[in-house]
Amino acid sequence: MLQPLVAVSTDVKQFENYTWHAAPQQYVEAALSGAGVLPVLVPSFGDRLDLDELLSAVDGVMLTGSKSNVHPSLYGKEATERDGPYDEARDATTLPLIRKAVERGVPLLAICRGIQEMNVALGGSLASEIQERPGSLDHRAPVSENQDERFAIHQTVSIKPGSCLAGVFGAGDIKVNSVHRQAVDRLGPKLQVEAVAEDGTVEAVSVRDARAFAVGVQWHPEYWVKSDSVSQRIFKAFGDAVRAHAAARTATRTAAE
């Protein structure tokens, strides 16, 4: 089976007396087993990377979740310690990568921090500590040492009729494991809402008139991709889009020979 390359974002971490550029296993495992693609970790070196060359070599981009948040200065707000932690090296890499992927029609799947990066990259802003807003649900993970409890599927989100994700799930309600304390505030002008939580919080977006699959979700489909049909379907849709992009590029090269 064709296993095209997909660029995967990385966090910059300090441990064992080294600086690491890393991604959690759940994401790379989901890319491999759920989407059927070969994940390639992209170091967060910002403008030192030739992103055009990268996007000429891969057929998709996946942005992972993270404990860090997009730096507020990137959407016109003052940074506070409460809104952290931050990873400015990742911001400097993922935001231009998102813009170039959308421009070039490279399939994009953005998860958790990824949807927030996607919104900021395309002109939107973020709201912090949304559990404190009047009428808002508490979207944070429960306090637990058990990761299965923290990422339990418990929240209902409603898929917008006629949306990209309606083609994946059908319109209506699905159950997801949304875990976050920040969310989309002002929606980027190039984006449209795909799904909302019961309190109106934006839970998924897509790029308007996108040349390829370009979706961000606030929940964590990577965690239960082997056992949950909703999680499986979004990775399959992404993988199918990546393979279609790879096939189109192959056909173009063949025609040119």
Q: Is 198 a catalytic residue?
A: no
Annotated active-site residue 112? The verdict is yes
pLDDT tens-digit map of 77-129: 999 888 889 999 999 999 999 999 999 999 999 999 999 999 999 999 999 87
The pLDDT value recorded for residue 149 is 85
Residue 22's contacts (CB-CB under 8 Å, 6 or more residues apart) are 10, 11, 13, 41
> Which pTM does this prediction carry?
0.94
Residue range 232-239: mean pLDDT, rounded? 97
Q: Mind listing the pLDDT tens digit for each residue in 170-214?
A: 989 999 998 888 899 999 999 999 999 988 899 999 999 999 999
Question: Please, which residues bridge with residue 214 across strands?
Answer: 108
Confidence of residue 254 (pLDDT cuts 50, 70, 90): confident
Task: Tell me, yes or no, if 220 is annotated catalytic.
Answer: yes
pLDDT of residue 147: 86
Q: Which of 112, 139, 180, 245 is catalytic?
A: 112
Please identify which of the residues 139, 180, 220, 245 carries the catalytic annotation.
220
